[in-house]
Structure 1
Amino acid sequence: MIQIGVLLTRQYRLLSLAAVLDVFETVNRFYSESDKPKPYHISLLYLESDSQKITNPYLDYPTESIQTSDVKSLIVIPSFNTDDIKPAIGANYEFIPWLVQQFKDGAEIATVCTGAFLLGATGLLNGKIATTHVDACQAFASAFPEVDLKADKTVTRDGRLYTSGGATSSFHLLLHLIQRHCGKEMAVRVAKVFAIDMDRDKQSYFSTFQPTRNHNDDLVAIAQQKIEANYHDTGTIEELIKDIPASRRNIVRRFKQVTGITPIEYLQQTRIEAAKKLLVQTGQQMTEVIVNSGYSDPKAFRKVFRKSVGMTPSEYREKFHVK
Structure 2
Amino acid sequence: MVTIRIWVYDGIMASGVAGPIDVFNAANLLSAQEATRGPTPSPIFAWRVESPDGQSVRAASGQSVPVDGKIDPRKRADAILLAAPFFSNMDEFVGRREQLNALSSALRRQHKAGAVLAAYCTGNYLLAEAGLLDGRVATTHWAKAADFAQRYPHVELRAREVLTGGDGILSGGSVTSYLNLAVRLVEMFAGEKLAAKTAKSLLIDMNRTSQASFATLLDEHGHADPLVARAQQRMEATLQQGFRLSELAAWLAVSERTLNRRFKQAVGLAPLAYLQNLRIEVAKQLLESRPISVDRVSQRVGYGDISTFRQLFKRKTSLSPSEYQMRFGRASVVDDTERE
1:67-119, CA deviations, whole angstroms, 9 ceiling, x for partnerless residues? x6424321111222222122122224232232233223322211122212222
| 1:73 aligned partner, one-letter code | D
Structure 1 CA distance for aligned equivalents of residues 113 and 266 of structure 2: 39
Kindly report the root-mean-square deviation, in angstroms, between the aligned alpha carbons of the 2 structures.
2.7
- Match for residue 334 of structure 2? none
1:93 and 2:128 aligned: no
Structure 2 CA distance for aligned equivalents of residues 270 and 165 of structure 1: 24
Same amino acid, percent of matched pairs = 30
- Match for residue 62 of structure 1? 68
Q: Is the 8 A contact 1:2 1:40 kept in 2?
A: yes
Structure 1 CA distance for aligned equivalents of residues 42 and 205 of structure 2: 28
Q: Is the 8 A contact 1:152 1:203 kept in 2?
A: yes
The TM-score normalised by the length of structure 1 is: 0.86
User: Which of 158, 172, 175 is the matching residue for 1:150?
Assistant: 158
Structure 1 CA distance for aligned equivalents of residues 128 and 106 of structure 2: 14
Q: Indicate the SS of the match to 2:170.
A: strand
Q: Is the 8 A contact 1:5 1:42 kept in 2?
A: yes
Counterparts in 2 of 1:100-139, with a 5 A limit?
A: 100-139=108-147
Structure 2 CA distance for aligned equivalents of residues 126 and 3 of structure 1: 27
- Match for residue 179 of structure 1? 187
Q: Is the 8 A contact 1:212 1:259 kept in 2?
A: no
Instruction: Give the 3 Å change call, closer, same or farther, for CA 52–269 of structure 1 in structure 2.
Output: same
Q: Indicate the SS of the match to 2:134.
A: coil
User: Which of 61, 72, 76 is the matching residue for 2:77?
Assistant: 72
- Match for residue 43 of structure 1? 48
| 2:307 aligned partner, one-letter code | K
Q: Is the 8 A contact 2:313 2:321 kept in 1?
A: yes
Q: Is the 8 A contact 1:226 1:241 kept in 2?
A: no
- Match for residue 224 of structure 1? 232
In terms of mean alpha carbon deviation, does 182-191 or 104-113 score higher? 104-113
Q: Is the 8 A contact 2:57 2:65 kept in 1?
A: no
1:280-313, CA deviations, whole angstroms, 9 ceiling, x for partnerless residues? 2223333321121122322221111110011111
| 2:311 aligned partner, one-letter code | K
Give aligned pairs, total.
Answer: 319
Deviation (angstroms), 1:182: 0.2
Structure 1 CA distance for aligned equivalents of residues 328 and 287 of structure 2: 8
| 1:64 aligned partner, one-letter code | K
Instruction: Give the 3 Å change call, closer, same or farther, for CA 247–102 of structure 1 in structure 2.
Output: farther
Instruction: Give the 3 Å change call, closer, same or farther, for CA 275–140 of structure 1 in structure 2.
Output: same
Structure 1 CA distance for aligned equivalents of residues 227 and 281 of structure 2: 23
User: Which of 267, 274, 298 is the matching residue for 1:266?
Assistant: 274
- Match for residue 207 of structure 2? 199
Unaligned 5+ segments in structure 2 are 332-340
Q: Is the 8 A contact 2:162 2:172 kept in 1?
A: yes
Instruction: Give the 3 Å change call, closer, same or farther, for CA 10–287 of structure 1 in structure 2.
Output: same
1:9 and 2:20 aligned: no
Q: Is the 8 A contact 1:42 1:62 kept in 2?
A: no
In terms of mean alpha carbon deviation, does 184-193 or 208-217 score higher? 208-217
1:27-83, CA deviations, whole angstroms, 9 ceiling, x for partnerless residues? 2344456422323332223223xx555599667x622134x6424321111222222
Instruction: Give the 3 Å change call, closer, same or farther, for CA 322–28 of structure 1 in structure 2.
Output: same
Structure 1 CA distance for aligned equivalents of residues 258 and 115 of structure 2: 47
Instruction: Give the 3 Å change call, closer, same or farther, for CA 238–69 of structure 1 in structure 2.
Output: farther
1:293 and 2:301 aligned: yes
Structure 2 CA distance for aligned equivalents of residues 97 and 214 of structure 1: 36
1:226-248, CA deviations, whole angstroms, 9 ceiling, x for partnerless residues? 33343332213453344446654
Q: Indicate the SS of the match to 1:4.
A: strand
Instruction: Give the 3 Å change call, closer, same or farther, for CA 74–17 of structure 1 in structure 2.
Output: same
Counterparts in 2 of 1:205-220, with a 5 A limit?
A: 205-220=213-228
Structure 2 CA distance for aligned equivalents of residues 278 and 289 of structure 1: 7
| 1:21 aligned partner, one-letter code | I
Structure 2 CA distance for aligned equivalents of residues 244 and 96 of structure 1: 50
Higher alpha-carbon Rg: 2
